[in-house]
Structure 1
Amino acid sequence: MSTPDVKALADALERATADRTAIPRLTDTVAFDVPTAYEVQREGIARRIAAGERPAGVKMGFTSRAKMVQMGVDDVIWGLLTDGMLVESVVDTAALIHPRVEPEIAFLVGAEIHNPAEAATAVAGVAVGFEVLDSRYTGFSFTLPDVIADNASAAAFGFGTWHPPRELANLGIVMEIDGRVAQTGSSAAILGDPYRSLRAAARLALAAGVPLRPGAVVLAGAATAAVPLPKDAHVRVTCAGLGSVEVTTR
């Protein structure tokens, strides 16, 4: 089998973003494994950084047991965040293909994490957050290598006020769209405790040579299923003890 062309795979994903048009799964035409998928992911992020964006942290995926079973995996995946993905108040849906939104728990790293065991003590703050997903594949359908190559579907993210580190194992979370409840859940859906996801993020980051340094944001994973994100909408995510975060779309 010939070696997959990482740059060509990244080119295909980049064109999908530029054209705002979903493409068939890359694995439908090119066979590649998970390590290669992460190379494609890093190539895509490297291009964003070369264009002027800065690394902002990482996001975790497949942090629910149900999603792991669905995808036939036994470990989480991760993607990389840049400051170009950070949303202050408005998400431009016209720049996306078929966006979805999900509630998150976010960590702010306060000290460089040198090993997963010290991850919790390196946290400077925790917040309720949201992530906008936008798979570049037709029908939001993908294999494991496909979604990793697509940077775990990461499109945008935001978070509320940072709070001092606290227990996060079972906090109620509500996501509303235009004042109507779209999803309810618990932070326990994130590997039983979001701090477990943080440790997994540290493990994967260290293995990839991507240190989690002060100022980095870690999105621990979705507390509920993602829902379609419509144009001209108002989204609010509320988490017990962490307040809320709001964003609008256009």
Structure 2
Amino acid sequence: MSHIAEFAARLDEAARTATATQQIDPESVMSLEQAYRIQAANIAHRVERGEKLVGVKMGFTSRAKMIQMGIDDVIWGRLTSDMRVEEGTALKLSDYVHPRVEPEIAFLLKAPLAGDVNASEALAAVEAVAPALEIIDSRYKDFKFSLPDVIADNASSSGFVIGNWHAPDTDLSNLGMVMSFDGKVQHVGSSAAILGNPVRALVAAARLAAEAGIPLQAGAIVMAGAATAAEWLVPGTYVRLDIQNLGSIGFHVQE
């Protein structure tokens, strides 16, 4: 078995069983291309079990995070059908290793989108936009990981919640966003924190997905990236996100 297949199988098992695993690249010597190959093989295991690819998620969409990680571009991961958490339902912390949550905005495509497109072209392919929450979960022991580790681990993506869809011409450039636990505010931010405008994350998604040979298709969901820092999930709480002009969504957290 190649290292790509070996690492992919290990990460898939860690996610499937909610069991922490050792880093695969503690010295950060692996190329990003190799890390994405592991990610693809990792997700292929899920597809083989019957899950369907439904979209992509963007990561490191703040300039500060890029600088911190020493990169000059966003990263991305893949969304599958089994990762979707219905709004208002409950998720079990025991299904995750190090679960956290981030406030985001989601796009739903009505037409294929691929390659180098501008903001207007990207928006022309959008059917609707919605408030969204992403559950992220590093599968590595002691919560230690390098950048290639993160990418191989599907950019830490584990679940996503999407609220009501809104018209695609909704101005997303500077919407206030408040994430709270049981009514207590955890983070306050703006959609402008997502690359200055979430539409830029959509443009990046089109480029990166095409480069990977999986251009975005009609019906795909694109999670634009976090507007604030992630927050650790706490059992027995209700997580809620309110976004100006887009409404609110939430989910319950169980042990």
Offset, 1:21: 2.6
Distance 2:132 2:195 in 1: 17
For 1:76, the equivalent position in structure 2 comes to: 74
Residues 1-250 of structure 1 mapped to structure 2, 5 A cutoff = 5-28=3-26, 31-88=29-86, 89-115=89-115, 116-117=117-118, 118-165=121-168, 166-250=170-254
Amino acid at match of 2:12: E
- Summarize the Cα distance change of 1:30–1:194 in structure 2 as closer, same or farther, 3 Å threshold: closer
Offset, 1:29: 7.5
Offset, 1:247: 0.7
Offset, 1:30: 8.8
Distance 1:139 1:164 in 2: 42
Offset, 1:92: 1.8
Q: Gaps spanning 5+ residues in structure 1: where?
A: none
Distance 1:62 1:95 in 2: 24
Distance 1:19 1:30 in 2: 26
Offset, 1:16: 2.0
Give identity over the alignment, percent. Answer: 50
> What SS does structure 1 have at the residue aligned with 2:224?
strand
Q: Deviations over 1:105-152 (max 9, x none)?
A: 100011111442321110000011000010011233221111000000
Offset, 1:31: 4.4
Distance 1:144 1:205 in 2: 19
Distance 1:20 1:86 in 2: 17
Q: Gaps spanning 5+ residues in structure 2: where?
A: none
Relative to structure 2, which stretch is displaced further, 28-37 or 131-140?
Answer: 28-37
Offset, 1:19: 4.1
Offset, 1:4: 6.2
Distance 2:207 2:51 in 1: 25
Could you tell me whether the CA contact under 8 Å between 1:178 and 1:233 is conserved in 2? yes
Could you tell me whether the CA contact under 8 Å between 1:4 and 1:32 is conserved in 2? no
Distance 1:200 1:176 in 2: 29
Distance 1:47 1:185 in 2: 36
Relative to structure 2, which stretch is displaced further, 89-98 or 35-44?
Answer: 89-98
Amino acid at match of 2:124: T
Offset, 1:38: 0.4
Offset, 1:243: 0.3
Could you tell me whether the CA contact under 8 Å between 1:57 and 1:212 is conserved in 2? yes
Q: CA RMSD in A?
A: 1.6
TM-score (norm 2): 0.93
Q: Give the total of aligned pairs.
A: 248
Could you tell me whether the CA contact under 8 Å between 2:112 and 2:218 is conserved in 1? yes
> What SS does structure 1 have at the residue aligned with 2:25?
helix
Offset, 1:192: 0.3
Distance 1:74 1:54 in 2: 30
Offset, 1:91: 1.6
